[in-house]
């Protein structure tokens, strides 16, 4: 049975979500706030939530809470769910927690695990639950919300009020919980847990910065000590690749408190890197029939009300700006602006598809605690494009967009990726549009995926508010998974804006929209590339491709002459005028990850050669300048990931 048929059966008969083997969530205290693939050995046919690893982590969170209450009897406990690389629990503590506390709690957790306590479950009435947790204010709030049908025990939105509430107990600890858990604490390997591998973090209750700030204790748990060790080693490697540290060291970007948090400033080297990416994608888009457009950074509030972005994303946008009798909004999305460009002219079926592309800057309200270098910012530029197509063009255009994204990923060495079809959650009211439009859009995406032989899963609840989408999840060199390119099919916004084209029979018809962003945001994408390459960018992307290192001052003139010829060949070149010794210059430029270092001395001046050293420390020796130009230009133009 095809994935498409499986999805249709599950969507229309069972009404159950078909999840990927893991749901990646955001964390703000590790580089790039992205999590590692939880288990490369886990079958993709098994949901993470159904796995033994999930139960181990969920149960470990409860065991940690038990130990914490022994250490801090006056603590208030909030929520403690498993997450994709472990678990956490939020506490309201009477004093700041320290390293000694964490060591004690971790040791006590191992004692509880080794004691072999059963996990037992029982149902209670809401009144019984409120009585049991009467001294725990956060649990009381959760219980009241459960009864009212607002959120579940982890603060997630639910649709129906809870008539019964489940308690899970091990040893002396009972928690408000639906499970699942291990049967006995001895199913957890005491040598494969850790809560001291990372520092505690602050977390607002319910994610609301106006509520109490709690202490979040993170933990991780695995099935074996070797898996834990591998994970901790991977974390250490990720710290070395932290784009914030590398970006500062390489002079790519800076964030100034005076300018504002979450508003990165691109320095010359970073701007060069970013511009190289943008020019490459612009040229690729022009070759594929895209038309460039430019739109303003603000728009009338009514524009976003018409599109639905303001009601649906109001909490993540800045407050409207009052100008005379109008209200304006910092642009949260580019698509309404592109729609108005399309609508400004009458289009015939012969004009379609119309492909409008822009590197458009948008603005989102993010809480200060959620900001993270380039990957979570308040102003960012999207490599946005919107295609307006006739129904009979949808499948072909969608596949062309997917092929374009695949080509871009492959050129950057991001060839290990999978696809996820995001559909709407039938239990949520956040989506706009008629059911039949959603069904048609979803079916079109799945048909395209099947036709192209994509490795994909279908996951409910991952759609945009106006339509389903295809996301690409890419693994980097550390096997971390990131969501990058996205393609969305949209029948709703053309309806909202009453878009039309003149069909062959002279009737007025609605076009279908395709939303497309291969990079996502330029800021986030550059952050990912910094960590993927650890700052050692391919030659074509490197801000400085070649540096000339004269052995002595008398070689400076020759170095400048060589640099001029290299620049004429289209290479980005610098001459190191520093007064330090040659060995120090080589070391400094190697640390800058400059691909090619050309050392020039007396012999080079006489012979018209350059002595070539790679950033990998490989010495290619002296070669005629023309030969080096041919090498460097060939490597750069081919966008090779190698240096020669």
Neighbours of 579 (CB within 10 A): 7
Assess whether pLDDT exceeds 50 at residue 11: no
Q: What is the pLDDT of residue 152?
A: 53
H-helix or E-strand containing 343?
helix 335-343
Six token digits for residue 387: 């295609």
H-helix or E-strand containing 329?
strand 326-330
581: CB partners within 8 A, 6+ apart: none
| Banded pLDDT at 535 (limits 50, 70, 90) | very high
Query: Does residue 590 fall inside a structural domain?
Result: yes
Q: Where are the beta strands (DSSP E) in 519-578?
A: 546-550, 573-575
Are 195 and 275 found together in one domain?
no
| Banded pLDDT at 156 (limits 50, 70, 90) | low
Query: Does residue 584 fall inside a structural domain?
Result: yes
Q: Each residue of 357-366: pLDDT tens digit?
A: 999 999 998 8
| Banded pLDDT at 154 (limits 50, 70, 90) | low
| Lowest-confidence segment of 93-102, 289-298, 413-422, 499-508 by average pLDDT | 413-422
Give the mean model confidence (pLDDT) for residues 91-104: 96
- Among all chains, which residue has been given the structure tokens 């099947």? 450
Query: Does residue 10 fall inside a structural domain?
Result: no
| Lowest-confidence segment of 153-167, 207-221, 305-319 by average pLDDT | 153-167
Query: Does residue 541 fall inside a structural domain?
Result: no
Q: For residue 214, list its beta bridge partners.
A: 203
Looking up residue 50, the CATH number of its domain turns out to be 3.30.980.10
Q: What is the pLDDT of residue 151?
A: 57
Q: What is the pLDDT of residue 46?
A: 62
Are 396 and 283 found together in one domain?
yes
Distance CA 119, CA 602 (A): 79
Please spell the DSSP secondary structure of 136-155, one letter per residue: -HHHHHHHHHHHHTSB-TTS
Six token digits for residue 444: 């079109």
Neighbours of 282 (CB within 10 A): 15
Give the mean model confidence (pLDDT) for residues 104-133: 96
User: What distance, in Å, lies between the first and last C-alpha atoms of the chain?
Assistant: 47
Q: Each residue of 236-277: pLDDT tens digit?
A: 888 889 999 999 999 999 999 999 999 999 999 999 999 999
Number of domains comprising the chain: 3
Last residue of a domain, one of 498, 533, 568: 533
Are 610 and 501 found together in one domain?
no
Q: What is the pLDDT of residue 153?
A: 52
Assess whether pLDDT exceeds 70 at residue 28: no
Distance CA 620, CA 608 (A): 16
Give the mean model confidence (pLDDT) for residues 516-523: 89
| Alpha-carbon distances, residue 165 vs 122, 145, 160 (angstroms) | 8, 12, 13
Query: Does residue 12 fall inside a structural domain?
Result: no
Distance CA 139, CA 164 (A): 15
Distance CA 610, CA 575 (A): 13
Q: What is the pLDDT of residue 158?
A: 54
Greatest mean pLDDT among 35-44, 46-55, 273-282 lies in: 273-282
Give Cα 556 to chain centroid, integer Å.
45
Assess whether pLDDT exceeds 80 at residue 202: yes
Distance CA 424, CA 459 (A): 8
Are 236 and 271 found together in one domain?
no
Are 346 and 471 found together in one domain?
yes
Looking up residue 432, the CATH number of its domain turns out to be 3.30.930.10
Distance CA 499, CA 209 (A): 40
Are 73 and 221 found together in one domain?
yes
Q: Where are the beta strands (DSSP E) in 406-460?
A: 417-423, 456-460
Q: Where are the beta strands (DSSP E) in 133-230?
A: 165-170, 173-176, 193-194, 201-204, 213-221
SS3 126: helix
- Among all chains, which residue has been given the structure tokens 């940690």? 64
> Rounded to 10 degrees, what is the CA torsion of 109, 110, 114, 120?
20
Average pLDDT in the chain: 87
Are 108 and 232 found together in one domain?
yes
- Among all chains, which residue has been given the structure tokens 């952050």? 527
Q: For residue 168, list its beta bridge partners.
A: 121, 175
Assess whether pLDDT exceeds 60 at residue 10: no
SS3 30: coil
Assess whether pLDDT exceeds 50 at residue 643: yes
Query: Does residue 28 fall inside a structural domain?
Result: no
Distance CA 570, CA 215 (A): 53
| Alpha-carbon distances, residue 340 vs 213, 497, 569 (angstroms) | 43, 8, 42
Last residue of a domain, one of 216, 240, 264: 240
Q: What is the pLDDT of residue 437?
A: 79
Looking up residue 611, the CATH number of its domain turns out to be 3.40.50.800
| Alpha-carbon distances, residue 565 vs 94, 574, 634 (angstroms) | 68, 12, 16
Q: What is the pLDDT of residue 38?
A: 36
Query: Does residue 44 fall inside a structural domain?
Result: yes
Domain residues for 449?
247-295+334-533
Are 513 and 611 found together in one domain?
no
| Banded pLDDT at 499 (limits 50, 70, 90) | very high
Q: What is the pLDDT of residue 623?
A: 95
Distance CA 187, CA 114 (A): 9
| Lowest-confidence segment of 148-157, 447-456, 457-466, 595-604 by average pLDDT | 148-157
Distance CA 259, CA 570 (A): 35
Q: What are phi and psi of 350, to 5 degrees?
A: -70, -25
Distance CA 50, CA 13 (A): 21
Q: What are phi and psi of 43, to 5 degrees?
A: -70, 135
Query: Does residue 577 fall inside a structural domain?
Result: yes
> Which residue has better confidence, 42 or 220?
220
Distance CA 211, CA 204 (A): 6
Last residue of a domain, one of 484, 507, 533: 533
CA angle 210–213–216, rounded 5-degree value:
140
Largest CA distance in the chain: 93
Give the mean model confidence (pLDDT) for residues 530-537: 94
Give yes or no for a contact between 441 and 468, defined as CB atoms under 8 angstroms apart: yes
Q: Give pTM, 2 decimals.
A: 0.78
Are 235 and 270 found together in one domain?
no
Six token digits for residue 10: 């599950």
Greatest mean pLDDT among 36-45, 520-529, 557-566, 574-583 lies in: 557-566
| Alpha-carbon distances, residue 124 vs 132, 143, 181 (angstroms) | 10, 11, 18
Distance CA 112, CA 184 (A): 11
Distance CA 592, CA 283 (A): 28
Q: What is the pLDDT of residue 27?
A: 34
Rounded to the nearest 10 degrees, the angle between the axes of helix 394-411 and helix 435-452 is 50
Q: Where are the beta strands (DSSP E) in 305-378?
A: 321-323, 326-330, 354-363
Give the mean model confidence (pLDDT) for residues 65-90: 95
Distance CA 347, CA 501 (A): 5
Assess whether pLDDT exceeds 90 at residue 93: yes
| Banded pLDDT at 44 (limits 50, 70, 90) | very low
Cis peptide bond N-terminal to 353, omega within 30: yes
Q: What is the pLDDT of residue 67?
A: 97
Are 263 and 384 found together in one domain?
yes
Q: What are phi and psi of 446, to 5 degrees?
A: -65, -40
Helices (H), 166-308: 225-240, 243-249, 268-287, 301-307
Assess whether pLDDT exceeds 90 at residue 188: yes
Cis peptide bond N-terminal to 180, omega within 30: yes
Q: What is the pLDDT of residue 22?
A: 30
Nearest to 56 by CA among 44, 70, 42: 42
Distance CA 69, CA 74 (A): 7
Are 517 and 550 found together in one domain?
no
- The half-sphere exposure of 94 on its side-chain side, counting CA atoms within 13 A, is 7
| Banded pLDDT at 41 (limits 50, 70, 90) | very low
Give the mean model confidence (pLDDT) for residues 40-60: 76
Are 125 and 175 found together in one domain?
yes
Give the mean model confidence (pLDDT) for residues 583-604: 94
The secondary structure of residue 1, as a DSSP letter, is -
The secondary structure of residue 14, as a DSSP letter, is I
Q: What is the pLDDT of residue 637?
A: 95
Distance CA 634, CA 637 (A): 5
Give yes or no for a contact between 19 and 44, defined as CB atoms under 8 angstroms apart: no
């Amino acid at each position: 049975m095809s994935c498409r048929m499986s999805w249709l059966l599950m969507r229309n008969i069972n009404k159950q979500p078909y999840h990927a083997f893991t749901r990646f969530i955001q964390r703000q205290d590790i580089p790039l706030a992205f999590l590692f693939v939880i288990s490369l050995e886990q079958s993709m046919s098994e949901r993470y939530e159904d796995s033994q690893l999930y139960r181990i982590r969920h149960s470990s969170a409860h065991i940690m809470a038990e130990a914490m209450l022994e250490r801090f009897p006056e603590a208030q406990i909030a929520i403690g769910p498993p997450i994709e690389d472990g678990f956490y629990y939020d506490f309201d503590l009477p004093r700041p927690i320290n390293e000694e506390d964490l060591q004690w709690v971790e040791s006590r957790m191992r004692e509880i695990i080794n004691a072999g306590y059963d996990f037992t479950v029982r149902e209670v009435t809401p009144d019984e639950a409120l009585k049991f947790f009467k001294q725990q204010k956060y649990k009381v709030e959760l219980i009241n919300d459960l009864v009212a049908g607002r959120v579940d025990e982890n603060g997630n939105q639910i649709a129906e009020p809870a008539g019964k509430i489940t308690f899970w107990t091990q040893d002396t600890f009972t928690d408000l919980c639906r499970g699942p858990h291990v049967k006995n604490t001895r199913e957890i390997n005491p040598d494969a847990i850790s809560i001291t591998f990372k520092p505690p973090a602050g977390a607002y209750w319910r994610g609301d910065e106006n509520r109490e700030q709690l202490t979040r204790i993170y933990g991780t748990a695995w099935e074996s000590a070797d898996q834990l060790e591998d994970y901790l080693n991977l974390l250490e490697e990720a710290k070395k690749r932290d784009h914030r540290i590398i970006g500062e060291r390489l002079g790519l970007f800076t964030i100034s408190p005076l300018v504002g948090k979450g508003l990165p400033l691109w320095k010359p080297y970073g701007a060069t890197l970013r511009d190289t990416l943008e020019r490459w994608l612009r040229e690729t888009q022009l070759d594929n029939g895209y038309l460039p457009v430019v739109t303003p950074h603000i728009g009338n509030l009514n524009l976003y009300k018409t599109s639905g972005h303001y009601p649906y994303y109001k909490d993540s946008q800045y407050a409207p700006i009052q100008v005379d009798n109008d209200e304006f909004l910092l642009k949260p999305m580019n698509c309404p602006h592109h729609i108005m460009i399309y609508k400004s002219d009458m289009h015939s079926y012969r004009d379609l598809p119309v492909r409008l592309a822009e590197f458009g800057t948008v603005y989102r309200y993010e809480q200060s605690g959620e900001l993270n270098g380039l990957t979570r910012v308040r102003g960012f530029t999207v490599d946005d494009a919107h295609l307006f197509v006739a129904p009979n063009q949808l499948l072909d255009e969608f596949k062309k967009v997917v092929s374009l994204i695949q080509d871009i990923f492959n050129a950057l060495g991001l060839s290990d990726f999978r696809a996820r079809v995001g559909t709407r959650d039938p239990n949520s009211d956040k989506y706009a549009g008629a059911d039949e439009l959603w069904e048609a859009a979803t079916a079109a995406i799945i048909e395209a995926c099947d036709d192209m032989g994509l490795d994909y899963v279908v996951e409910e609840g991952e759609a945009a508010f106006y339509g389903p989408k295809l996301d690409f999840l890419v693994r980097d060199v550390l096997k971390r998974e990131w969501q990058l390119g996205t393609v969305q099919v949209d029948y709703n916004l053309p309806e909202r804006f009453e878009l039309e084209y003149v069909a062959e029979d002279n009737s007025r018809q609605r076009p279908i929209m395709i939303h497309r962003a291969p990079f996502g945001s330029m800021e986030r994408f550059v952050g990912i590339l910094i960590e993927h390459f650890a700052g050692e960018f391919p030659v074509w992307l490197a801000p400085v491709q070649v540096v000339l290192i004269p052995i002595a001052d008398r070689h400076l003139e020759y170095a400048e002459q060589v640099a001029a010829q290299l620049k004429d060949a289209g290479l980005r070149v610098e001459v190191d005028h520093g007064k330090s010794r040659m060995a120090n210059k080589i070391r400094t430029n190697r640390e800058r990850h400059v691909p090619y270092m050309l050392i020039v001395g007396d012999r080079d001046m006489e012979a018209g050669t350059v002595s070539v050293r790679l950033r990998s420390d490989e010495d290619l020796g002296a070669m005629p300048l023309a030969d080096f130009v041919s090498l460097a230009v060939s490597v750069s133009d081919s966008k090779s990931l190698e240096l020669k």
